[in-house]
């Protein structure tokens, strides 16, 4: 059973998500405790392949209150764990025009903290407007359908 700790809702608004991948996170003790308390922010974070390894940037994990001097730096770069073959495949896809690795959610499964990364292309402003218009029209149709069922 998986417990979702944090979701990046903004990612679905700003990007077209083509594929999703699961990766492990290398964390320190106080980071693990903060993540378990859901004190994580994925906004503006991204992953990058460097020297055959995968790293996560700009993910904010709040300091653990009882952590005293052993606390971690909130915005430090964190290493992600994936198989070498998957990393090399991702590196090839990222080099294509307009692709990025964006974290979609952090979750716990069997005591392990995992992150779901999405291979994403940026949306244009008109794409965002079209999505909003589609969502609004869908809501309106559902509302009218409910009203007709009441009669």
pLDDT score at 151:
67
pLDDT score at 104:
92
Give domain limits for the chain: 2-123
Domain at 2-123: CATH architecture: Beta Barrel (2.40)
Residues 112, 118, 119, 123, Cα dihedral to 10°: -160
Of 86, 80, 90, 88, give the one whose Cα is nearest residue 114.
80
Q: Which residues contact 109 (CB under 8 A, 6 or more apart)?
A: 1, 2, 3
Mean pLDDT, the chain, rounded, equals 86
Q: Which residues of the chain have pLDDT under 70?
A: 151
What confidence tens digit (pLDDT) does each residue in 69-82 have? 778 888 889 999 99
């Amino acid at each position: 059973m998986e417990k979702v700790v944090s979701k990046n809702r903004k990612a679905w608004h700003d990007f077209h998500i083509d594929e999703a991948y699961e990766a492990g996170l290398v964390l320190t003790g106080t980071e693990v405790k903060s993540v378990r308390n859901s004190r994580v922010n994925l906004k503006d974070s991204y992953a990058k392949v460097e020297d055959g390894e995968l790293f996560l940037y700009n993910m904010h994990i709040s300091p653990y209150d009882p952590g005293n001097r052993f606390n971690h730096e909130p915005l430090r770069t964190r290493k992600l764990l994936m198989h070498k073959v998957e990393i090399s495949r991702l590196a090839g896809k990222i080099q294509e025009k307009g692709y990025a690795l964006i974290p979609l959610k952090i979750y716990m499964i069997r005591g392990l903290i995992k992150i779901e990364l999405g291979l994403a292309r940026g949306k244009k402003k008109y794409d965002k407007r079209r999505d909003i218009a589609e969502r609004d029209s869908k809501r309106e149709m559902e509302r009218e359908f409910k009203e007709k069922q009441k009669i």
